Amino acid sequence: MALAQGLGRPYMFWQSADRRRSMLGVGEILRLRAAGADRLEAVAAASLGLSAPILLGGFGFSGRGPLPAPFGPFAPADFMVPQLLFEERDGDLSLRLLGRSEGDAGQPTAPDTLASLLVAMPGRAASGRLVFADPPGSRAAWRDEVDRARVAIRSGGLQKVVLARTSLALASEPWSVPNIVRELSLHEPDCNIFAFHRKGRTFLGATPERLVRVADGTAEVACLAGSAPRGATTEEDRAIGQELLRSAKNRAEHHFVVTAVEGALRARGLAPEVAAAPSLKRLKSVQHLYTPVRTPLGARETIFTLADALHPTPALGGTPQGLALSWIFEHERAPRGLYGGAIGYAARDGEGEFDVAIRCALVRGRVATLWAGSGIVEDSDPDEELKETDLKFRPLREALQEAIRT
């Protein structure tokens, strides 16, 4: 990744939560991008005639394009066929060089890119200083957003809306993206790790939430909503987890997600299997209510059709979906871009995975912009919701602190 960063070519890294599979695609022989409500359908249609083994990429929270300024190089749906595909799977290592059968006049071939990669000397990132700062007035403004959302919910119709806020990390030296990704991979177990790079900007993160995974004729969805901190001791951690399981507010928030996922799958004629009650998914800094959902695939389903049907779940948008999205687009101050969308891959054999783009940051030069969100319901407390987003910033903040010391 450090070598790819030095070349200035697009690249994408993805690593599974169990660390059994890692992929790095470098350079691109083909880019598929689209905007609008049917952006995933457009990408899927464009990929039908391809013999490429894999597409790497993702899509934003909204299909509206172009994406807000910080995400300028990216499209609302943005996928690449890489020239070089490095992969580790269950301990087996491979490198594939991909090209176009008709050639691409004037463009470097995959062997050219590999040769450039092998002779490139990645710059060693200098250690530096780091300051975390919220945009001026943003904390007070976000509390006001929470209050306005609660008023809208009490007025009827809207049941839940997810609000996002941003925070900044300002470094004295340009960020080393490979260092950040390494820290996330080492210290955020049970999270999928991703980094998507275009033209000097990298969208990266460690996400615990799967939108959909397709393999062996089965689709799997992870419903994740309702949050609490980890405890300082085993006893405290267990007590906080039990309180989370009993919390009416968090159970209601989680129920919205499970109901929406199950409904979206049944609307496509599928027969999802849903766990009877949520369990706890414990991460390094936070624990969540978690319900897995599985369903056999129908003959017409692909990773793209399912992602389109499921996105955005109430965990990232709210419920009812239309009212929640309208409220977000009208009132939310922080532009989401790729935050709240999904990142992953789609393989030619039908396998694929898209993970919800949360616990993430956009890195450019010496600046990293972090995103975090919280589900607002009628009895939400603005100060508590602010604390929850601070808790969700913690994994990226810790990774950035370690990365700049390396």
Is the CA virtual torsion 200, 16, 76, 136 positive or negative? negative
Bridge partners, residue 291, by sequence: 223
Tokens 């939400």 correspond to what residue?
A: 380
- Helix (H/G/I), strand (E/B), else coil: 392: helix
Give the residue numbers annotated as catalytic, written as ranges.
160, 209
Q: Which helix (H) or strand (E) holds 250?
A: helix 248-267
Helices (H), 67-201: 110-119, 138-154, 177-187
CA-closest candidate to residue 293, choices 319, 313, 317, 321: 313
**Contact, 181 vs 253, CB < 8 A?**
no
Counting every residue written for the chain, the total comes to: 406
Tokens 């912009």 correspond to what residue?
A: 369
**Contact, 100 vs 30, CB < 8 A?**
yes
Tokens 């690249």 correspond to what residue?
A: 11
Bridge partners, residue 314, by sequence: none
- Residue 124 has a CB neighbour count (10 Å cut-off) of 9
Q: Distance of alpha carbon 248 from its chain centroid, rounded?
A: 27
Q: Give a three-class secondary structure readout of 96-129.
A: EECCCCCCCCCCCCHHHHHHHHHHCCCCCCCCCC
